[in-house]
């Protein structure tokens, strides 16, 4: 059995060799990068190294699945921009002889659109996407855990539809005597089985992520740091609002320094009182802040915040992510333990 999981660990490390580097806008099924958990949203998104009983974290890193998630169920909803909304549902179940599994459904509803031809309205059409996910983890020893997610994906855009399948692979390492967790995740290794047009297949939003989480010993504070899109070193682009004019009136694009490019991979978050009935959460997404920045205007883009509170047998959370002066997203989550009923 141990040899099998050693093989899995080797596959996780080599899988980038079989995948194409992709970031937002360059692949299909981009909805799988959306964060529906209010706790995740408040912490800046993409937190992959928090190992507790929150079943939502299993969606982002299957190696975080543990027995404490048995019976836990979560409902997440996001009020996105315009009429778009999305969310997820997750449920954890432990089987004595097999281990713990987490099943989840993620969806996005883009709303209704007007169908027209040369200005003539011909009714409406809708668009939506969904992914069914099953995750499992295995403890190699008291320090190392590996896990995998298998996802079946469906996308419907009016009369066009597409199907695909993807896998996530995760590893966590508990640093002895440091109350610290390290994590590495390979996301969305797979392919599109059925394309929208029936022609060339599109790439999936493949990504490599690394994360650190530590709970401080003398302060009820847990901090996290995530480095995303490691498969592509330069994820930056020049912000049009930062364009300037030289002495001759020619436009000059934004000069992005090497440090700025590096920081666009970084997401930080902190949670105060993470194990109590009421917790406060803050986060900052450097790339979101850089891409949404407007010259000579403070918009707090990249910041996120939220809270979690226990009400009887339910854990209710709210998260707010700020994008630009145009607004941000509101995430709502409810988590409960079915074993308590």
Domains of the chain, by residue range, sit at 2-111+124-340
Can you give the pLDDT at residue 307?
A: 97
Coil, strand, or helix at residue 30? helix
d(CA 132, CA 155): 12
Asked if residue 243 has pLDDT above 80, the reply is no
For residue 40, the 8-state DSSP code is: H
Least confident span in 113-122, 165-174, 274-283: 113-122
d(CA 257, CA 169): 32
Asked if residue 175 has pLDDT above 70, the reply is yes
CA dist list (Å): 331 to 39, 130, 230, 309, 316: 8, 18, 27, 14, 11
Asked if residue 9 has pLDDT above 60, the reply is no
Q: pLDDT tens across 145-167, in order?
A: 999 999 999 999 888 999 999 99
Asked if residue 19 has pLDDT above 60, the reply is no
Asked if residue 3 has pLDDT above 50, the reply is no
Can you give the pLDDT at residue 151?
A: 97
> What count of residues does the chain have?
341
Q: What is the percent of the chain where pLDDT is above 90?
A: 66
Q: pLDDT tens across 244-283, in order?
A: 666 666 666 777 889 988 999 999 999 999 989 999 999 9
Can you give the pLDDT at residue 111?
A: 86
- DSSP labels, 238-307: --GGG-EE-TTS-EE-----HHHHHHTTEEEEEEESTTSSEEEEEEEEHHHHHHT-BTTB---TTEEEEE
Mean confidence (pLDDT) of the chain: 87
Asked if residue 121 has pLDDT above 90, the reply is no
76 against 1, higher pLDDT: 76
Least confident span in 204-213, 229-238, 296-305: 296-305
Q: Can you name the CATH fold of 2-111+124-340?
A: Porin (2.40.160)
Can you give the pLDDT at residue 113?
A: 84
Least confident span in 94-108, 173-187, 319-333: 319-333
Can you give the pLDDT at residue 296?
A: 66
Can you give the pLDDT at residue 251?
A: 67
Q: pLDDT tens across 188-208, in order?
A: 999 999 998 888 889 999 999
pTM: 0.86
Cβ atoms of residues 151 and 166 within 8 Å:
yes
Number of helices followed by number of strands (H, E) in the chain: 4, 16
């Amino acid at each position: 059995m141990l040899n099998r999981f050693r093989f899995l660990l080797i596959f996780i490390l080599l899988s980038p060799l079989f995948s194409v580097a992709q970031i937002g806008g360059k692949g299909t099924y981009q909805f799988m990068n959306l964060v529906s958990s209010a706790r995740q949203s408040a912490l800046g998104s993409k937190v992959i190294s928090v190992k507790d009983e929150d079943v939502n974290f299993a969606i982002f890193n299957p190696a975080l699945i543990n027995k404490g998630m048995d019976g836990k169920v979560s409902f997440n909803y996001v009020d996105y921009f315009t009429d778009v909304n999305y969310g997820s549902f997750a449920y954890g179940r432990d089987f004595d002889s097999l281990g713990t599994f987490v099943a989840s459904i993620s969806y996005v509803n883009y709303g209704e659109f007007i169908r027209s031809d040369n200005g003539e309205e011909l009714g409406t059409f809708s668009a939506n996407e969904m992914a069914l996910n099953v995750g499992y983890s295995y403890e190699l020893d008291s320090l190392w855990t590996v896990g995998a997610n298998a996802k079946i994906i469906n996308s419907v855009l009016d009369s066009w539809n597409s199907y695909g399948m993807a896998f996530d692979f995760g590893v966590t390492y508990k640093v002895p005597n440091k109350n610290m967790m390290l994590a590495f995740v390979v996301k969305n290794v797979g392919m599109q089985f059925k394309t929208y047009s029936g022609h060339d297949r599109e790439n999936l939003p493949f990504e490599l992520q690394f994360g650190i989480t530590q709970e401080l010993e003398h302060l009820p504070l847990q901090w996290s740091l995530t480095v995303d899109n490691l498969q592509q070193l330069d994820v930056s682009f020049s912000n049009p609002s930062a364009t300037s004019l030289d002495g001759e009136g020619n436009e000059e694009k934004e000069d992005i320094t090497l440090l700025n490019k590096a920081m666009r991979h970084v997401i930080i978050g902190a949670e105060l009182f993470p194990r109590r009935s009421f917790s406060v959460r803050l986060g900052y997404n450097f790339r979101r802040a850089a891409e949404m920045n407007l010259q000579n205007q403070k918009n707090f883009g990249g910041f996120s915040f939220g809270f979690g509170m226990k009400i009887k047998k339910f854990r209710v959370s709210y998260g707010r992510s700020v994008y630009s002066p145009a607004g941000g997203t509101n995430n709502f989550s409810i988590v409960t333990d079915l074993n308590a009923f």
